[in-house]
Chain A
Amino acid sequence: MMCQFCKTKDATVHVTEIADQKIKKVDACAACAKEKNYNDPTAFALADHLLGLGASQKMEEAAEALGTLSCSQCGYTQADFKKSGRLGCAHCYEVFGEGLDSVLKTMHKDTQHRGKMLAGVQKTNQSVRTLERLSKELQKAIQKEDFETAAQIRDEIKLTKAAS
């Protein structure tokens, strides 16, 4: 496949963007992709290598979601994360946490830890967490006067309480 910009070299960078519900495909050679700012191909390759195919796109999204954040403890920045796929310190997980979840979803079974706990840290009961989520959803439904949904959620809360 030829590069759609210079039409002389082989296209080695293929980007599929979905913006405003429209699919935009870009097939470019490395030089044109760089010029047109279709991201850094090495960053792509690195992320794919580290996290498996498909992860790099998520990483890009995550990096974007993180904006220009940097960690107050270790000075790690969004660019560092994009480049290395790694975080700088424990505090980074609080700073960058929000954008991370979409990356974690592609890598792991879930985004909530279920294994061994740190000594002294109590595991919050699974059902407690579910109840918190449901009661928030219930409030929202009531605010929107969506009583059908509210009734469904109310039943779900009853079930969860009964099960625990």
Chain B
Amino acid sequence: MSIIDFLIPPSEVSRRSGPHDKIVLSSRVRLARNLRSIPFPSHSKKADRLKAFEALMPVVRGLGQMGPTAFSESMDKLPALEKQLLVERHLISREHAAKNAGSGIVLNREESVCVMVNEEDHLRMQALQPGLQLRQAWMIIDGVDSALQETIEFAFAEKYGFLTACPTNLGTGIRVSAMLHLPGLVLAEQINQIIQAVNKLGLAVRGLYGEGTEALGNIFQVSNQMTLGETENDIVERINKVLLQIIEHEENARLAQLEKKPAVLLNHIGRAYGVLGNAWSISSKEALNLLSFMRLGIDIGLFRETPKALVDELFLRSQPAHLQLAHPLREKLGSDDRDLFRAEMLRERIAGFPKPDASSLRGSGGPVSDKGEI
């Protein structure tokens, strides 16, 4: 089965919900592990990489957590477009998408556990959950790790913990991260202060696709940097605490914006609605940034009875690989045509949305500018 058929369609995957999912899109916990007796993939010869691949793929595939219907494939069997699709779903890293023979992916049916074989380390395994569910994600991946330890001998030292190719992952090998939608803090121009404060706490803030990427659509990833010298639970709890604070700041920023500058907020959302519903050509960057305002509009009740799943679906479908795979030409679709096709898809879908209705804000007792009323 191809990965395109295997993946949960955007309309369904965007309907999943979790705690605080107005602001926290998803939670992820990743562990890095290596085999004791084979050099790390970044340094090993092809024969060694293949040996690790052969040893690991069947064991990972056979894990109880993977279930009977997991997807398991060597990276050289996946066309570039399908790899990009996995990146857009945040199931594999951009680095892993560049890998070929000797690297692989194993993904369970629910897309809650995804293991990369021979990325920078022999195993990069991650648990994903919608909304803020870091503890849950840690429990799942902890279970996967313990199950693997029954049959695989991992590289480990009492002093350094689990050994990794890069010393930055040493010890627990854990990377705890959450994807946050923070349009309120961006509009209020408080985002840089928040990023600096979060950095001071030893956490990293990155863009939509991870390291070195732009915060498209006002989406930010927060993750730990230190992996050695603390327990996994301490790391999870610390990030959880920071995230709850960011959520509070974002909520306050939205409220303050609604109270003090409702016109600015409504203007952004109204324009996003207008452009997305009427543009004839739109880049993914512009689309994602405007969809962010639509999502904010839904969150504050501006689009009556419109579930935010609709916007989240469009957010996925606006990204290049998702879009190209939906077109009959697929990879042959040029970037100009892609922008036309994206605009067409968005026009059709936004036409089904109700108009932004500021009176609903009034009805719910929300403050709305009285400008314009005579």
Contacts and interface: CB of A to CB of B under 8 A. Distances in A.
Contacts of A115: 161, 171-172, 174, 230-232
B154 A118 contact: yes
B226 A107 contact: yes
A86 B168 CA distance: 9
Contact of A51 (B42, B168, B172): B168
Interface stretch (A9-17, A19-27, A31-39, A72-80): A72-80
Contact of B228 (A80, A109, A121): A109
B37 to A, nearest CB: 8
Interface in B119-172: 120, 142, 145-146, 149-150, 154-163, 165-168, 170-172
Given A104-B170, A113-B158, A89 B230 contact: no
Interface hub of B142, B157, B168 (most chain A Cβ within 10 A)? B168
The dominant DSSP class at the A interface is: loop
Nearest to A84: B42
A136 interface: no
B121 to A, nearest CB: 10
A104 B149 contact: no
Contacts of A76: 43
A88 B43 contact: yes
Given A73-B39, A88-B39, A119-B149, A113 B161 contact: yes
Contacts of A110: 228-230
B44 interface: yes
Interface size class of B (residues with CB under 8 A): 35 or more
A100 interface: yes
Contacts of A85: 166-167
A38 B157 CA distance: 35
B6 to A, nearest CB: 31
A113 B146 CA distance: 18
B203 to A, nearest CB: 12
Given A109-B226, A114-B230, A114-B231, A121 B171 contact: no
Contact of A93 (B39, B44, B160, B202): B160
Given A50-B166, A74-B43, A111 B157 contact: no
A103 B37 CA distance: 25
A113 B228 contact: yes
A112 B39 contact: no
Interface in A77-105: 80, 84-90, 93-94, 97, 100, 103-104
Contacts of A103: 167
Contacts of B145: 116
9 contacts: A74-B44, A86-B165, A87-B43, A87-B165, A89-B43, A89-B44, A93-B157, A97-B159, A115-B171
Interface of A: 50-52, 73-74, 76, 80, 84-90, 93-94, 97, 100, 103-104, 107-119, 121, 124
Give 4 nearest A-B pairs by CB, closest first. Answer: A110-B229, A113-B161, A109-B229, A90-B155
Interface of B: 34, 36-40, 42-44, 120, 142, 145-146, 149-150, 154-163, 165-168, 170-172, 174, 202, 225-232
